[in-house]
Amino acid sequence: MPLAHSPIISALSLPTLLWFVLLSSNSPTVVAKDTAPWIFGVELGEIPLKGAIKPGINLGYRFSKQHELFVSYQLPDKISRGKDSFNAQSTGIKGLTSSTETVSKRAQVLGIWRWHTLPLYLSYGLVYNGQDTETMTFREMPRQINKQLLQGPLSLTLTRPAGYSPALGLGVRWPTADGYEIFAQWSGNVFQKAVTPDIQIHSNEINSATRETLTTHIKHKFRKKISNVYHVFSMGMRY
């Protein structure tokens, strides 16, 4: 089978391939003197305010004081976002009672470029997100959607498919005197809109026209949110 038609090549988008080549070509091959090359760390993929943390581990290899190869993996988790859910707010539907998101695994392979005098650094490479599902429940109350008056309860399930993408991001780090490093970073697909989610609307009274209008509206709002692109957020400690 010709390589160009192999399943592996077919599954890769041209931007992703070009980004991977750029990542590989910009990785120096010489380790700087007085620099420990290997770095191990633990991280969280969520700010621990809602009971979810998305724990993970990371491994880095320093080519120099400025350049590093960074790899991390985060475990799945479940998050109760409630009224803080950006997607629930974007629906425009009133009466939210709960919003729960099942967040799948996360992984990333990044190049890191540090400034000499600043704590900030640039990240670039590839990120992978597993399939995420968010379920929103709205209480029973009168509401009008697409000129249809609804009375009963309503629930929505949004599923973003698993995928990977090129990523670009920023991070900040705070080295300590005993060799540890506290860091926080975000890397994601800032080049494209978020992928289109699968949407399930659960209601005993909604008609097909209203269902289609609401689905189109939610998809449009979902794809415009930077929080819905393939990305990985990390905060933690390394040594």
Q: 40, 1, 43: which is closest to 234 by C-alpha?
A: 43
> Quick one: which of 35, 185, 29 has its CA closest to 110?
185
Tens digits of per-residue pLDDT, 154-196?
Answer: 999 999 999 999 999 999 999 998 889 999 999 999 999 999 9
User: Per-residue b/e over 81-119, b at no fewer than 16 CB within 10 Å?
Assistant: beeebebbebbebeebebbebebbbbbbbbbbebeeeee
The two three-digit tokens of residue 100, written as one number: 């729960």
pLDDT tens readout for residues 87-98? 998 899 999 999
Cα atoms in the 13 Å half-sphere on the side-chain side of 100: 8
At 34, the pLDDT band (50, 70, 90 cuts) reads low
In the predicted model, what is the mean pLDDT of residues 37-50? Answer: 90
Q: What is the pLDDT of residue 84?
A: 80
Query: Strand pairing partners for 186?
Result: 170, 233
| pLDDT tier for residue 6 given thresholds of 50, 70 and 90 | very low
- Taking only the tens place, the pLDDT of each residue in 211-237 is 999 999 999 999 999 999 999 999 999
Contact of 71 with 58, CB cutoff 8 Å: yes
Structural domains of the chain sorted by starting position, each given as residue range(s) with its CATH number in brackets: 3-238 (2.40.160.170)
**230 in Cβ contact with 164 (< 8 Å):** yes
Say how far apart CA 189 and CA 201 lie, in whole Å. 28
